[in-house]
Structure 1
């Protein structure tokens, strides 16, 4: 059976077409093109990442060799558990062996297609997409031919890995599976399959980062002001995302930055749209801790109107409050996210320079 159809049926019934566009049709919930999805695992000590897990005899006998290779390859590349990917492939289409409509061609009654049963709307609006084009969806090129083909296992499995990563895996893997197919019985079934596929009989979940990672990041700050900003931001790790949140219990992407700068006695714009033109632009590669990195993300955003922001904590790493279903606030990698709009340095804004001058005088 192809149970992915519940993603549309339940979402439409619960929240209507608008919420469906934000949660399912729009890739990664808040993103307008798929290259915003973070590729590659990050430092497992401080940011979380996938863990190596040997395949069980059950996995080796049940999963076609080419599929098993793809699950492992793309799971490692993106940073999600390969056995979770494999379990999704088993639950959806028996690793592409199902003869039901939509697996090898066309769609099922709900518009799902391919071995990982993507809704065509979430893939990008059509089954085969040139990866050089702009589109909204998870279409991916897993074999390097320049085409994102929903029926191609290499492409579909890479797209599924990105979707799971976007929505919380590997740390919040059950949450990510729920977004993949919005039913907890589905999550339970996939998890049970994944356990059978792992030699250990478990779904390994990396530990959440703790404050043992903070000290070296803060010590490397270019000055005391940035150190204060980073100390506050890093201390919020593990708290939930809340749209419009500025703390103390939850934040959105720009809210945590706004609050961090306030902790250092500095006032900057509250929203991403306000923060983008506020700071002085810096070129990629010249960014430093305390700078902001912006992404083209979400409805109504574009290359000149970014809708998501994170704060650089070290080269290639940022702290971000990503989205409600993406897991807690954490340090993640930004280097491989292809939809970066740019970097800014709020501390070089003329208003902030005046604020810093007043603070220094007041401290004398």
Structure 2
């Protein structure tokens, strides 16, 4: 990293802190009294873009604009981030876009931040509105499907904020994720307090990807009993840490959890990602199903034809993965919007596995 890049990063982080230092006292006067309690609450396990606005306290219903609330819910669910935390960031930064301070609706403030979620233009992509492509790896996001990442567009900005929180530790390590968003512990504590008051029970809700209440329909939807056993084992390991070379029970690495899940069903497959990739029958994109594996060109020594990271499909667009030491605990995540996907395989169609199934009397 060059000295100029280091200086730019330091100035950027300082700018984020200064934004909040200036805006905090101005926005505090706009905060509601946070009466808490009441509201709607159900478990939201459905897939797709239709999101029920549930687990919303009376405080949240009265304070969050009607056009913002569904966006917080939608992108919180899509990225696997607590919607209450995402909404609390929006409240803390600009009062859900209602602030009249410079840079919220147009232009930038003195530090170069803009939009309802207060992104530094440098982290958004260098412009307030840019064309979003599959190759772009920044926080500029297309939340409304028009092909553009507009920092002033609530859908785009909230989607980008969800990506930033997820990339830096959410939903498991919220303090780390929020501290990265704005490097001040008092900011972190304020956001978490707002998030608790936005929830019906005063606690931070668990995204559907991490909610055990959502496991039953996932397992029941599996194509057969073997896959159900594989999924049941893998999902039961959620919340445990990533451990390099781990095969449980304390923790796992990416291929270790898959290896052990198949063993729980009485089947033996290769232990490592490099062995698992050529083992299963290749599956076309869009045809993957529960129990299949999705591989990524990620990690040291990997390439497009030699993937180094793997997850296991549990439902359409969702996989369980042990990602890395700093990526938080084992959890269910989305994979279709992730870069560097190499391909998909079905270990259950390997000849050795078919022979094992026959010996077990399961074919």
> Is the TM value for this pair above 0.5?
yes
What's the counterpart of residue 152 of structure 1?
153
Shift in CA distance, 323/112, structure 1 to aligned 2, threshold 3 Å: farther
> What is the CA deviation profile of residues 53-101 of structure 1, one whole-angstrom value per residue up to 9, with x for unaligned ones?
446568746x6x4xx5224324234425544333212323444536457
Partner of 2:236: 235
Q: Deviations over 1:154-188 (max 9, x none)?
A: 31122113333555655765554344335443221
Measured in 2, the distance between the counterparts of 1:193 and 1:232 equals 36
How far does residue 310 in structure 1 lie from its aligned partner after superposition?
Answer: 1.4
SS of aligned partner of 1:242? coil
Deviation digits for residues 198-235 of structure 1 (CA, Å, limit 9, x no counterpart): 384835413854499469828945464x5554454233
> Deviations 1:327-347 (Å, cap 9, x if unpaired)?
432344546668654210234
Q: Specify the SS of the correspondent of 1:312.
A: strand
Say whether 1:191 aligns with 2:192.
yes
Question: Which residue does the alignment assign to 2:256?
Answer: 255
Per-residue CA deviation, residues 313-332 of structure 1 (Å, 9 max, x unaligned), is 34554322234455432344
**2 CA distance for matches of 1:78 and 1:58?**
15
Mapped to 2, the partners of 1:98 and 1:5 lie a distance apart of 28
TM-score by length of structure 2 reads 0.65
The secondary structure found in structure 1 opposite 2:137 is coil
For the structure 1 residues 7 and 354, does the alpha-carbon distance in structure 2 shift closer, same or farther, using more than 3 Å as the test?
A: farther
Which residue pairs with 1:246 in the alignment? Answer: 247
Aligned partner of residue 67 in structure 2, secondary structure: helix
Q: Which runs of 5+ in 2 are unaligned?
A: 1-8, 16-42
Q: 1:231 to 1:161 in 2, by over 3 A?
A: closer
Q: 8 Å contact 2:195–2:204 — kept in the other structure?
A: no
* More relative contact order, 1 or 2 (CA 8 Å, 6+ apart): 1
Cα separation, 1, equivalents of 2:59 and 2:231: 47
Give the number of equivalent residue pairs.
Answer: 315
Change (3 A) 1:200 1:218: closer
TM-score (norm 1): 0.65
* Per-residue deviation, 1:311: 1.1
Q: Retained in 2: the 8 A contact 1:42–1:332?
A: no
Show the counterpart of 1:279. Answer: 280
The 1:227/1:206 distance shift into structure 2, 3 A limit, reads closer
The residue matched to 2:277 in structure 1 has which SS? helix
User: Map of 1:106-255 to 2, 5 A cutoff?
Assistant: 106=108, 109=111, 112-120=113-121, 122-124=123-125, 126-132=127-133, 134-165=135-166, 169=170, 173-174=174-175, 176-195=177-196, 198=198, 200=200, 202-206=202-206, 209-210=211-212, 213=215, 217=219, 220=222, 222=224, 224=226, 226=227, 229-255=230-256
The root-mean-square deviation of aligned C-alpha atoms, in Å, is 4.5
Report the Cα distance in structure 2 between the residues aligned to 1:250 and 1:199, rounded to whole angstroms.
31
